[in-house]
Every structure is written in C-alpha cells, then in structure tokens.
Amino acid sequence: MGREHVLIIEDDADIREGVRILLESENYGVEEAENGRKGLELLREETDLVILDVMMPGMSGLRTCEEIRKVSNVPVLFLTAKAQESDKLIGLMAGGDDYLAKPFSYAELLGRVKALLRRYHVYMGKASGTGEEKENYLEMGGIRIHREFNEVFVDGAAREMSDIEYHMLLLMMRHPRKIFSAQNLYESVWQEPYFYSCNGTVMVHIRKLRVKIEKDPQNPKIIRTVWGKGYKFDVDSR
C-alpha cells in the first residue's frame, strides 16, 4: 500500500497546522483547505480521508460533505465545536462517517484517523484485485454484496454505500438471523469502546442503510428491529 492522503478542510489556521504536523509525522500525505469550496477543488481520487470542520463561513461542513458524497465515498471525519448528540447525528445524516468534538487530543484524533483508514482500505477496494473476486460475493434476499470491496446490488441495481453502511450490512449478512445489539454493531464496525450515547449513532446508520435497501424504509422487512434486543438481517423477508 502506498502513502495515504488526507485532506484537511478547516478555517482555523492553527488547527490546520497542528493536524498537518501530526499527520505528516506519521508519514501521511496532507493537503489543506481553508473553506469548503477550496476543499472540493482539492478532492482527488487518491484522497483516502477528509477531516472536515462543521462550522465554517460560507459553505458549511455539512453542505461540503453533501457535495463530497455526490462524487466520492471517501470517509469523512467531522470536527465539531458542538457536543450535543443532535448535532452529531445531523453530521452523520449528512454523510459523515465519524465525528470528534473540539477540543480534542491529538492521540484521539490519530486513533480515529487510523481506524477510518484501516476500514477504508479493507472494505472499499483500494487495493488492486484479481479475477477471483468476481465470485467473492454474498447473496441473499435479493441483496448481493462483495465480501471485500464496497460493491452492493439490490435486485440487480447498484447501491452506493458509505464505508460504515457497507461494513454494517456485510457484518449482518455474514450472520443472518443473528440479533445484533447496538453495542455489538458499534464495537464491530467502529472498532471502539461502546458507550450508551453511541446508540444514536447506530440508529442513524441503520436508518440510512434501510433507505438504500428496503422497499419501504418506514416498514423495514430486511433489517428488522427486535425490540429491546437490537437488529437482525432477516434472510426470509423478501
């Protein structure tokens, strides 16, 4: 694997500089943008991660993320001065993969960066493949998913998935009928310790996933809620 590239979109020059120095010390390639529009100009196919401030003048981080999602599934780590759970959920709904509240420690930032990049390279198909991958799919209930790369088809139609959505769906399809608690899902997908406040994060991504795979997301049949226990992929639902 070659050098990984991170794009920092942050209007605070001191934060940009501190994050850049940290990431370059870990041998990441880094590009910087002081606003959303400049960040969109710097986004490349080679970009492996975007670190994005939520509160910026002009184009906000939320709007910038929405624009990124129109052209790329690159993981997005939000930096936010707001610590309210509702603000974090709004960021996830806009297409973000993770968030970090300011002020943050560089150790915590680096941990989030490494976790997102690790999942991205494992599950997004950044490495070149072989012809054997054509058979490396799981298929059930009208859904076909690649076991290694982010390729998902629902009734033959391709579906664009974020890193988190893909990883969550793959995990549940590997264990059909298993009931996953919010803690199971969070610790398996995010690879971080679970706290009660993480429930909302899991719920948001389940909701987004249902929109992409369910015929009627308001009355889900594929990813079912088992009240008081969690969620399961119902292989007999379609």
What is the rounded average pLDDT for all residues in the chain?
86
Same domain for 40 and 103: yes
**Structural domain includes residue 128:** no
> Per the structure, how many domains does the chain have?
2
Rounded distance between C-alpha atoms, residue 161 and residue 163, angstroms: 6
Is residue 54 located within the same domain as residue 155?
Answer: no
- Do residues 144 and 80 both lie within one domain? no
Kindly report the pTM of this predicted structure: 0.58
| Beta-bridge mates of residue 146 | 137
Give domain status of residue 12, yes or no. Answer: yes
Q: Which of 123, 121, 147 has its CA nearest to residue 134? A: 147
pLDDT at 150: 82
**In a shared domain, residues 202 and 108:** no
Residue at 158 is within a domain? yes
Same-domain status, 84 and 171: no
The pair of structure tokens assigned to 90 is 């709004």
Q: Does 157 fall in a domain?
A: yes
What are the tokens at 56?
């910026």
Same structural domain for residues 214 and 107?
no
At residue 128, the pLDDT reads 40
Domain span holding position 99: 5-123
Could you list the pLDDT tens digit for every one of the 238 residues in the chain?
A: 568 999 999 999 999 999 999 999 999 999 999 999 999 999 998 999 999 998 898 999 999 999 999 899 899 999 987 665 666 677 777 888 888 888 888 888 988 898 888 777 765 544 444 444 445 788 888 898 988 778 899 988 888 888 889 999 999 998 888 899 999 999 999 888 888 888 899 999 999 999 999 999 999 999 999 998 999 998 765 5
pLDDT of residue 85: 60
List the one residue out of 30, 113, 40, 36 whose CA is nearest residue 71. Answer: 40
